[in-house]
Homo-oligomer: A and B are copies of this chain.
Amino acid sequence: MKKFVNDPANFVKEMFEGIYLANKDKLKWVPEYNILYRADLPKNRVVVMQGSGSGHEPAHSMIVGPGMLDACCPGNVFAAPPMDYVYECTKILAKDNDKGVLHLINNYQGDRMAWDMAREMAEADGIKVGVVIIDDDVSVTNSLYTVGRRGVAGNFFVIKAVCAAAANGASLDELVELGNKVNSRVRSMGIALTSCTPPAKGAPIFEIGDDEIEIGIGIHGEPGRRRDKIRPASEIIDEVFAAVCDDLPFQKDDRIALMINGMGGTPISELYLLYGLAAKRAEEKGLTIAKNYVGNYCTSLEMEGFSLTMLKLDYVIESLLNEPAEIPIRVF
């Protein structure tokens, strides 16, 4: 294994330390629970948190800040956060704030269990907790670690919309309704060229041939629909675009947000090439791309691959996506 790590057991902790040191004036860090939260935590509105396995950065540990998450509490690499991490994080957010805490949860059984138990513990303390489950991956129904569909890069849109609404004073009930609405309108599918190597495992999580691709890959290397041979990018986009588009379905005159999400190891040059191909498909279909996103949003460590996400907009969601945000990852 060649990675920039020290002791693999400390990988997540040392990553968090780096995020914290790069944002000391903006974030607080609780090392024993993998918690990062805003130094200027809001007190007079609902607060929003997420945390799934680590290894999907920038989701979720690098998107805490005004306009995005108020806190995150990921687990170890590809492991749900333990229930006490979620519980501690919920308590931090609810301190001196009775407006409620929104839990955003990607649909994996490990996450569901940890967050369910943590919510019960928090509710026993008198904390109001709302829940939104994200399950945007059209690739397969049920998976290695999931009953129902998996939650993947579409979570970005749920996060962005509900966090903007929370900043603008939405109630806990309104946020749950909004989050469910965005989730119901967002669809994704991913393709892998290579596996990734979790530091603690020290070896690839699956084998794939030098001429093979996995169609419908999960973000933890879960199998998709099938293996295929590598093909021209335009043929790959044709299949992924159709699978995503037909699922909702997206229809002529729909106004959409289109995301090409990198899996971590794909150069952004290829992501923009894929975006160009997808944008032309969308135009042929009569869809209007009102917002576009190209880059790494929800990754699988250094996996080479991408996912395509489409969100059917309405004027409320589009306004929320246009709201400002300020997070650790930035361009200049």
A22–B275 touching, CB < 8 Å: yes
A2 touches which one: B2, B193, B293 (CB < 8 A)? B193
Going nearest first, the 4 A-B pairs with the smallest beta carbon separation are A18-B276, A18-B272, A4-B270, A17-B276
- Chain A interface residues toward B at CB < 8 A: 2-7, 11, 14-15, 17-22, 54-55, 57-58, 62, 67-68, 160, 193-194, 210-211, 213, 230, 232-234, 236, 264-277, 279-280, 292-296, 299, 301-302, 304, 306, 321, 325, 327-332
CA A14 – CA B266 in complex, angstroms?
A: 16
B267–A265 touching, CB < 8 Å: yes
Given A18-B275, A331-B327: A268 in contact with B58 (beta carbons within 8 A): yes
CA A267 – CA B300 in complex, angstroms?
A: 8
Name 21 A/B residue pairs within 8 A (Cβ), A-sorted: A2-B193, A2-B194, A2-B211, A2-B213, A4-B233, A15-B270, A18-B273, A18-B294, A19-B276, A21-B279, A21-B280, A22-B272, A22-B276, A22-B292, A54-B269, A62-B272, A67-B332, A267-B301, A293-B332, A295-B330, A330-B331
Total identical chains? 2
- List of B residues within 8 angstroms of A234 by Cβ: 6
A5 touches which one: B62, B232, B275, B292 (CB < 8 A)? B232
A267 touches which one: B2, B57, B210, B329 (CB < 8 A)? B57
A6–B233 touching, CB < 8 Å: yes
A4 touches which one: B4, B6, B19, B274 (CB < 8 A)? B274
CA A193 – CA B2 in complex, angstroms?
A: 7
Q: Which residue of B lies closest to A191 (CB)?
A: B4
Given A21-B275, A22-B279, A275-B21: A268 in contact with B296 (beta carbons within 8 A): yes
